[in-house]
Chains A and B, each alone.
Chain A
């Protein structure tokens, strides 16, 4: 039977049509002479014939309708992405904070923004008022101050602290990751050239915050709300939204919304990348702002976090792109060594460059 070992390895390939014509001919010739191998092939083909046809597969009645129902139920409007069930838990906890964020983002104490600030303050007040159903104490100072347009870091600290215990019970990050989240925005805010990025980051944060506030209610009713702050900040682009950390003083401190608030409250197009949750990129590279330099100029990033490491919160700002661009940017940054094999679990061929916050 030793002779047969040589062909035995080929028999499966033979029955599966994976051999070249020459190889097939060689095997057929062997089969003519070898009853053992021929028996194996015959048996496999007999078993194959006994396999059920896929078209005979029983499917529960109404299955397709059930799937579409689930899609429709999860979509605020046709065509939008489904929201994860676990999102509800996050929303209940984050909504009050989201209201605070909305206020922080919208009520920027910058002179040129006077008019829009009042407008934004009014909107923020509305949002905060709506959230009063779950009113934690911190929403009151928030709405109380929005009229004057000033929110002190201290109040925000207090506001966030009050919900911290509740949050800690979940896997929402604490102070450090909060800074991580805020810093990409701060970084963008301090960039000299692009006015796009700060505004878009602000819009993005505002949208996220608004989404956090809105999503707890009937989402369709809130459709209008998210647009208002967004358009306010966009319309008055030109000044970066100051998101500096408290050591710089005098400005709001953006506390953690948590990395997943905007993810679970998806609109058309995801608002954040959560690895192993809403996406698995073919490759991911983590670079510092210094390493990236200006290579990502003009790109719009989204907060990037990893569902496999939820305790780390938002790791940075992720920029999705095709493999070629990804490779080019890595090379420019002198980081070609970070290239890896494509992740076998990937849900896309796109790669992601995550720009880490400057602070540790």
Chain B
């Protein structure tokens, strides 16, 4: 398979082969960094950092884990590093490193009638909802829903045990769902007309 050949060649120092890998994976890496970082510049910086780390670390990459899982982990780490560096600067300036501040500015989940009237696309709402989540919950949902990684793969990328992955996905998902329901654009499973009386006792 082409990708495996590129990986092997890049591991030997073939820069052209590595360039192919960059092109192959840049969207996937950006899909992660653009949602974990505060702004597009940071997202690009973290993405570049991830690929540079991959280039430097390729000789250590044994291929037991999949290349993509390893790369996502580098990307995730790059985002964390970036946030930490910025956090350090802010801390030095006297600001607190409260986790709350790490969140991207949350969209008000209780929109004005005007917003509701605008009937934004559900997709936009999903992005807004993701942005409103804590980084931990956002991370797992992005990897699950956008990158379609298994729980095992997510646990490898984020260095968490699977139990933690499970609970974060569950909680993150419920928070996202709540956000969307409250934002008014997500009607929920409107098709369901069942009444409570048929439900669980």
Residues of chain A having any CB pair with chain B under 8 Å:
1, 3-4, 9, 12-13, 16-18, 33-40, 42-44, 46-48, 50-55, 57-60, 63-64, 66-68, 70-72, 75, 78-82, 268-269, 278-279, 344-345, 347-350
Contact = CB atoms under 8 A, between A and B. Distances in A.
A54 B147 contact: yes
Interface stretch (B19-27, B85-93, B98-106, B110-118): B19-27
A344 B127 CA distance: 30
A54 B176 contact: no
A80 B199 CA distance: 64
Contact of A43 (B15, B59, B188, B194): B188
16 contacts: A12-B166, A12-B173, A37-B200, A47-B186, A50-B121, A54-B28, A58-B30, A63-B44, A63-B47, A66-B48, A70-B48, A71-B18, A79-B14, A345-B77, A348-B57, A348-B62
Interface residues of B, number: 62
B19 A68 contact: yes
A59 B34 CA distance: 9
Contacts of A33: 198, 200
B161 to A, nearest CB: 9
Given A46-B122, A55-B27, 15 more contacts: A13-B166, A35-B195, A39-B189, A50-B123, A53-B146, A54-B27, A57-B28, A60-B44, A67-B19, A67-B52, A68-B19, A71-B18, A72-B15, A78-B13, A82-B56
B88 to A, nearest CB: 14
Q: List the 4 closest pairs (A to B, CB-CB), nearest first.
A: A79-B13, A344-B159, A42-B189, A35-B194
Nearest to B14: A79
A34 B144 CA distance: 26
Given A51-B146, A71-B55, A78 B15 contact: yes
Contacts of B107: none
The residue in A57, A75, A82, A344 that gathers the most chain B C-beta atoms within 10 A of its C-beta is A57
Interface in B28-67: 28, 30-31, 34, 40, 44, 47-48, 51-53, 55-57, 59-62, 64
Contacts of A348: 57, 60-62
Contacts of A54: 27-28, 31, 146-147
B23 A79 contact: no
Contacts of B199: 4, 34-36
A51 B23 contact: no
A4 B30 contact: no
B96 interface: no
Contacts of B125: 50
Interface string B149-163: 011000000010000
A54 B147 CA distance: 7
B83 interface: no
A189 to B, nearest CB: 29
B146 A81 contact: no
The residue in A4, A42, A67, A68 that gathers the most chain B C-beta atoms within 10 A of its C-beta is A67
A347 B189 contact: no
B170 to A, nearest CB: 5
A326 B46 CA distance: 34
Contact of B150 (A18, A47, A50, A70): A18
Contacts of B34: 57-58
Nearest to B48: A67
B8 to A, nearest CB: 14
Nearest to A8: B170
A282 to B, nearest CB: 10
B44 A12 contact: no
B2 interface: no
Contacts of A57: 27-28, 30-31, 34
Nearest to B34: A57
Contacts of B26: 59, 63-64
A43 B189 CA distance: 5
B200 A68 contact: no
B191 A42 contact: yes
A39 B188 contact: yes
Contacts of B44: 60, 63
Contacts of B150: 16-18
Given A44-B177, A64-B22, A67-B48, A39 B192 contact: yes
A1 B122 CA distance: 29
A66 to B, nearest CB: 7
A82 B55 contact: yes
Contacts of A55: 27
A345 B52 contact: no
Contacts of A64: 19, 22-23, 26
B126 interface: yes
Contacts of A66: 48
B126 A51 contact: yes
Given A3-B200, A18-B151, A79-B14, A71 B145 contact: no
A75 to B, nearest CB: 8
